[in-house]
Amino acid sequence: RRVVMDAFEEGQRSGITGTPTFVINSQTLVGAQPMEVFEEAIEGAAREAQGG
C-alpha cells in the first residue's frame, strides 16, 4: 500500500491530474489519445534529442 501511495503523491507533485497520463520529455498527454498524437510527441522528442 505504501508503494501505491508514494507513486500517487509523486504524481500529484508532478501535476498529474488524471489517468492515463503520459509524459514524453516535457509534453504531458492526459487521457486516451489517438496513436498519431503519440507518434508526433515521440518524433518531436527525438528531434529535440538530436538538437533539432
Whether 9 is covered by a domain: the verdict is no
Q: Is residue 11 part of a domain?
A: no
Question: Is residue 6 domain-resident?
Answer: no
Give how many domains the chain has, as a whole number: 1
- The residue segments making up the domain with residue 52 are 20-52
Within-domain flag for 28: yes
pTM listed for this prediction: 0.71
Domain assignment present for residue 32? The answer is yes
Does some domain include residue 52? yes
Looking at the chain, the number of H-run helices and the number of E-run strands are 2, 2
pLDDT for residue 26:
86
Q: For 1-52, what is each residue's pLDDT tens digit?
A: 999 999 999 999 988 988 899 999 989 999 999 999 999 999 999 999 998 7
- With respect to residue 10, please indicate whether it lies within any of the assigned structural domains: no
Sequence-distant (6+) residues with CB within 8 A of 32 are 20
